[in-house]
Structure 1
């Protein structure tokens, strides 16, 4: 499906307490910087900043993966180590299948995870439907060259057990979904400890987070399987994964595919169905924009996030945005198996002290001297290079701002 056009966002008063949406963004007007129509000075003092980078389906190519992460400013140097500092990286699953670098990718990601943690960064690794397919014995998309890198089918099968190195890695360091805060909680806590004037109450940030998932949260998901989010879904998914690995089903083909283990509960089995969170494509394929946006608003309110980011359904024209960039579909088929454009998503959120003179009249209150509010700026960017372009040193790709919001918070 072709990317949906992003409508111009309209400035609006948000009904959440003490939170006011001051300016929004139309990407066609100024796609490379903070919008010029912002009512606030661009040089306001920065109190904190947090950058999130997300990358979609990889499907077995280490070289492409590293190029995308370098382009996005996540890795660098001779050893391609972590350079994102205290930022956050999210990879939305489907690392396995279609390619030949399964071992190399998973081992590199464990090195990168340790590197990130040593610098105060965070690396969220998610599981896709292809990880679960392999855990259940569905090897239809495993290449012969990939099997050879393991030393044979039996060695690969042994790795996919609870005690095998890959099975253990999945169980320990991977999850089904993640709710990632837009602000680094450590920096917010530090500001509060320093008694920065008029720091906003925690309620102002209750939905200041992004949901990440491989496929999607179906609107029909019952609350009993969804909440509290994300722990409920992750607990169900962990159990499904463990039982699939314990079953150690012989690979299909040539053996019959056994499907979900019989020991699983109905809630666990529902994760796998066509309308389950491991396969759902409605956010990408449903053409009724009004219905999709309404469903998205309801789901985001329920799980406490501002945006939902997903992979799974590839679009070879680039990252797709829907519903004012609250739905972001980041699978662009970057694996050589597909040949799509190399892309990543970047979300940067900054907090600024806001002098009283810049606070809208309807939000002003008589207070002591000093900042009366904080200004939150959230910028969503897509990054992209074409596959046939030769990689240049320091490559950053073409950047397009697809979403921008400013909010006055606190008081």
Structure 2
């Protein structure tokens, strides 16, 4: 077989010579030009007109994340009247929409893709349409993030993989690993664990030219049908910034370019294809190890010698840099339409304006999303019916949910469920929160549930105040809460006032709080979220806060809240975080709602920024509204002082 320039480059010594550089550079140039040619050819000569918007469609059927749950999907499509008993298209002019995440976790993702690819052709012949949107798990499979690929998914590709493929893979594994093995049996076991049967055929199939990779790269991130948008995760800020066409083009072109550069760098032995190693960290390391400027003065000689051994040609360095830059592109980030969960998890105050602007940009009234599994296996309508959460956990073994599809026809939107088979409208404003309970259910639990444990701090038994930790039992769930007993500071009334004011403003900063008598003590009982930690605890344990909700925006909201309530008691012990979501909550308003009518003279106006939505909510406050909401917890003087502070905030703060 004729030796290529790439073969010459890779056969050279590990200490590059001039000849090696030349061969390496030429090989890379050929790879690079090949990539550019293929990319530009696709951009200039599309195979067919691309359409991402449809109008006047009589019937739409939408299904969320499948995750390899092929039998459940088949049954759902049959009940929804889009395929027949022979799995052939029977939907006539129906538009069938997949919200993405066909892959990972479940056993039959390949069969799922094959079915939908076939139905795309059959539906088109019948005058219908099958739309498949890209989800984050499609993206992950394309870019080599295989954390959630199940062994069963790999096995679907095992018959496409020859013994020679696996033997070549084993040799590459042995030559490239830093691990040591006592014998071949041990090394074989390690190889089989890292590269299970079907792995290599799976990766070939998901390459840019592979059967599934090329198909997945042709999918859109967002489409619109009639007055609805459809997307895997949500509509983050980038949608209103860039619009439908650019979002979809970026998903297709940026993802393809990332993959092609990644594979080219693997071909040059610059990066490895080890599924356990992050290619972006590898790329950053190769750049750093090739840069003399990163050598410390104290060990410059040794460092320069190492750099010389590891030095890469300039075109390769430039490609590594481009590869890293692509990895940070917004369409590949957690804030993209394939990943973002802000609209379903974070404060409506912050997220509703983003959603409204995105819907306006797309020219629609509503968006249908998957990605986030609902805790009660029901579809939910949020944000005044502007967003429908449809993912009810079709992969039952993993999510303990049930299959569901949204059917839109004759002006109605009904969800077709299986297990049991029923058609229902999406639930409105009943999304389960903490402990898997809706707000109404949590309020009922705090008010009436049996108290199973009480932990009183020292001194509280003598009636000198302090919060009690309380455990309640409700429908076989243990719910934790804080109890503020009546004291000389009227702490419990201030906590109730804080919650009522918070509800009027829609800030969602103060946990649900109700009146309750415990151990003959009148007081306020306040929900404690199960995954909550205080700022005190976070600092002490050096705990990071993840999640989907912007902390800077929430801190600004907290600053505005404490100015409005004249709260002088904010501390690290009463700032709480929900770790998995990144939501901030505030407790202990024992020193709030004072008589102060002005803002602190030392307040710098640039430290507290009132966003348009916060200003709008502050502006709705008036004495009658506050008296009606809070009149039984604080007096008129305190309410009037609060309104004076509000006026000062609107005047002084931007």
Normalised to the residue count of structure 2, the TM-score between the two structures is 0.41
Corresponding residue number in structure 2 for 1:310: 369
The separation in 2 between residues aligned to 1:252 and 1:267, in whole angstroms, is 18
Structure 2 residue 446 is the aligned partner of structure 1 residue 400 = no
SS in 2 for 1:175: coil
Structure 1 residues 140-219: aligned runs within 5 Å: 140-151=147-158, 152-172=198-218, 174-180=219-225, 182=226, 209-218=227-236
2:254 is matched with 240
What is the number of equivalent residue pairs in this alignment?
A: 286
Verify: 1:298 aligned to 2:357, yes or no.
Answer: yes
Which structure 2 residues correspond to residues 314-393 of structure 1 after superposition, within 5 A? Answer: 314-317=373-376, 318-336=378-396, 337-349=398-410, 378-386=411-419, 389=420
Does the residue aligned with 2:337 lie in a helix, a strand or coil?
coil
Could you say which residue in structure 1 is the equivalent of 2:329?
Answer: 269
Cα distance, 1:239 vs. partner?
1.0
Deviations 1:114-145 (A, max 9, x none): 11111000111011111111111111101112
Partner Cα separation in structure 1 for residue 111 and residue 239 of structure 2: 38
- Tell me whether 272-281 or 92-101 shows the greater mean CA deviation: 272-281
After superposition, the Cα gap between the structure-2 partners of 1:61 and 1:49, relative to the gap in structure 1 and judged at 3 Å, is: closer
Structure with greater strand percent: 1
Tell me, in whole angstroms, the C-alpha distance in 2 between the residues paired with 1:257 and 1:339: 34
SS in 2 for 1:76: coil
- How far apart, in 1, do the equivalents of 2:256 and 2:278 lie? 20
Structure 2 Cα separation of the partners of residues 291 and 241 of structure 1: 29
Larger radius of gyration: 2
Equivalence for 1:185: none
State the partner residue of 2:301: none
Kept in 2: contact 1:140–1:252 (CA 8 A): no
Q: Secondary structure at the match of 1:328?
A: strand
1: distance between equivalents of 2:418 and 2:106? 21
Q: Does 1:62 align with 2:84?
A: no
Query: Residue 280 of structure 1 aligns with which residue?
Result: 340
* Alpha-carbon displacement from aligned partner over 1:220-274 (angstroms, at most 9, x marks no partner): 32755x22xx211110000122124322376564333538985366697112222
Paired position in structure 1 for 2:81 = 73
User: How far is the alpha carbon of 1:61 from its aligned partner?
Assistant: 1.7
Deviation string 1:61-83 (CA, Å, 9 cap, x unpaired) is 21011111122222123x12222
**In structure 1, the residue corresponding to 2:257 is in which secondary structure?**
helix
1:57: how far off? 0.4
**Does the 8 Å CA contact 1:139/1:252 hold for their aligned counterparts?**
no
- Provide structure 1 residue ranges, at least 5 long, that are not aligned to the other structure: 1-47, 183-208, 350-377, 390-396, 404-411
Unaligned runs of 5+ residues in structure 2 are 1-55, 159-197, 267-271, 284-319, 428-654
- Asked if structure 2 preserves the Cα contact closer than 8 Å seen for 1:74 and 1:82, the reply is yes
Query: d(CA) in 1 for partners of 2:273 and 2:389?
Result: 31
Which of structures 1 and 2 has the larger relative contact order (alpha carbons within 8 angstroms, sep 6+)?
1
CA pair 76-325 structure 1, distance change in 2 beyond 3 A: farther
Aligned partner of 2:41 in structure 1 is: none
